[in-house]
A and B are shown apart, each in its own frame.
Chain A
Amino acid sequence: MSETVGFLTDTTLCIGCKACEVACKQWNQLPDDGFALTGRSYDNTTALGASTWRHVLFAEQTSTTHGIAWKMMSDVCKHCERAGCLEACPTGAIIRTEHGSIYIQPDVCNGCGYCVPACPFGVVARSEDDGRAWKCTLCYDRLQGQLEPACAKACPTDSIEFGPIERLREKATARVKALREQGVDARLYGESAEAQPGTEGLHAFFVLNDRPEAFNLPPDPQVPTKGVGRSWLAAGLAAAGLAALAIGAALFGGTHD
Chain B
Amino acid sequence: MTDAEIARAHERELDPERNDARAEAALQDAHHTAAAPDAAPIGDAAAHHEHVAPVPAVAASTTGYYDLPVVKAAPWKWFVPAYFYAGGVAGASSLLRGAALLARDRRLAKQLGRLAFAGEAIGAALLVADLGKPQRFHHMMRVVRPTSPMNVGTWILGASGLLGALELVRPSKRLDAATIAAMITGGGLATYTGVLIGNTAVPAWSHARTAMPALFAASAGASAASLLELAGVRSPLVRRFALAAKTAELVAARAVEASLGAGVVGEPLREGRSGKLWRGARWLQGASVIATVLRASRVAGALGTLAGVMTRFAIHEAGRASAADPRATLAPRT
Interface stretch, picked from B12-20, B24-32, B59-67, is B59-67
Contacts of B209 in A (CB 8 A): 224, 227-228, 230-231, 234
Interface stretch, picked from A118-126, A143-151, A167-175, is A118-126
Q: Which of A105-131 contact B (CB under 8 A)?
A: 108-114, 116-122, 124-127, 130-131
Q: How many A residues face the partner with a CB closer than 8 A?
A: 80
- Pair A120/B142 contact, Cβ less than 8 Å: no
- Pair A46/B71 contact, Cβ less than 8 Å: no
CB nearest to B211 among chain A residues: A234
- Pair B140/A112 contact, Cβ less than 8 Å: yes
Interchain nearest-CB distance for B180 vs A (Å): 10
What sequence of 0s and 1s flags, for each residue 213-225 of chain A, a beta carbon within 8 Å of any chain B beta carbon? Answer: 1111111111011
| B interface, size bucket | 35 or more
Contacts of A243 in B (CB 8 A): 95, 98, 183, 187
- Pair B201/A242 contact, Cβ less than 8 Å: no
Which listed residue (A119, A124, A125, A257) contacts B236, Cβ 8 A?
A257
Contacts of A132 in B (CB 8 A): 132-133
Contacts of B70 in A (CB 8 A): 121-122, 216-218
Is B105 part of the contact surface with A, judged by Cβ < 8 Å?
yes
Is A238 part of the contact surface with B, judged by Cβ < 8 Å?
yes
Interface stretch, picked from A16-24, A90-98, A179-187, is A90-98
Is A88 part of the contact surface with B, judged by Cβ < 8 Å?
yes
Tell me, in angstroms, the Cα distance from A253 to B218 when the chains sit together.
Answer: 21
CB nearest to B59 among chain A residues: A60
Contacts of A112 in B (CB 8 A): 130-132, 140, 150
- Pair B210/A89 contact, Cβ less than 8 Å: no
Contact of A249 with B213 at beta-carbon distance under 8 Å, contacts A117-B319, A227-B206 already known:
no
- Pair B59/A216 contact, Cβ less than 8 Å: no
Contact of A216 with B75 at beta-carbon distance under 8 Å, contacts A59-B60, A88-B150, A114-B148 already known:
no
- Pair B210/A230 contact, Cβ less than 8 Å: yes
CB nearest to A247 among chain B residues: B99
Contacts of A47 in B (CB 8 A): 68-69
Q: Which of A73-95 contact B (CB under 8 A)?
A: 84, 87-93
Contacts of A221 in B (CB 8 A): 201
Interchain nearest-CB distance for B241 vs A (Å): 4
Is A232 part of the contact surface with B, judged by Cβ < 8 Å?
yes
Is B245 part of the contact surface with A, judged by Cβ < 8 Å?
yes
- Pair A242/B95 contact, Cβ less than 8 Å: yes
CB nearest to B243 among chain A residues: A249
Contacts of B200 in A (CB 8 A): 84, 88, 117-118, 224
Tell me, in angstroms, the Cα distance from A29 to B72 when the chains sit together.
Answer: 23
- Pair A90/B71 contact, Cβ less than 8 Å: no
- Pair A242/B68 contact, Cβ less than 8 Å: no
Contact of A227 with B136 at beta-carbon distance under 8 Å, contacts A243-B95, A246-B221 already known:
no
Contacts of A251 in B (CB 8 A): 102-103
Interchain nearest-CB distance for A56 vs B (Å): 12
Is B188 part of the contact surface with A, judged by Cβ < 8 Å?
yes
- Pair A125/B72 contact, Cβ less than 8 Å: yes
- Pair A238/B131 contact, Cβ less than 8 Å: no
Contact of A225 with B147 at beta-carbon distance under 8 Å, contacts A219-B330, A234-B210, A234-B213 already known:
yes
Q: Which of B55-85 contact A (CB under 8 A)?
A: 57, 59-60, 63-66, 68-76
Q: Which of A163-214 contact B (CB under 8 A)?
A: 213-214
A-B contact pairs, 29 of them (CB 8 A): A39-B57, A61-B59, A87-B145, A89-B145, A90-B145, A92-B142, A112-B132, A113-B76, A117-B73, A117-B205, A119-B72, A124-B72, A127-B132, A131-B131, A216-B70, A224-B198, A228-B198, A231-B209, A238-B217, A239-B95, A239-B191, A242-B187, A245-B244, A246-B95, A247-B102, A249-B99, A249-B241, A252-B240, A255-B236
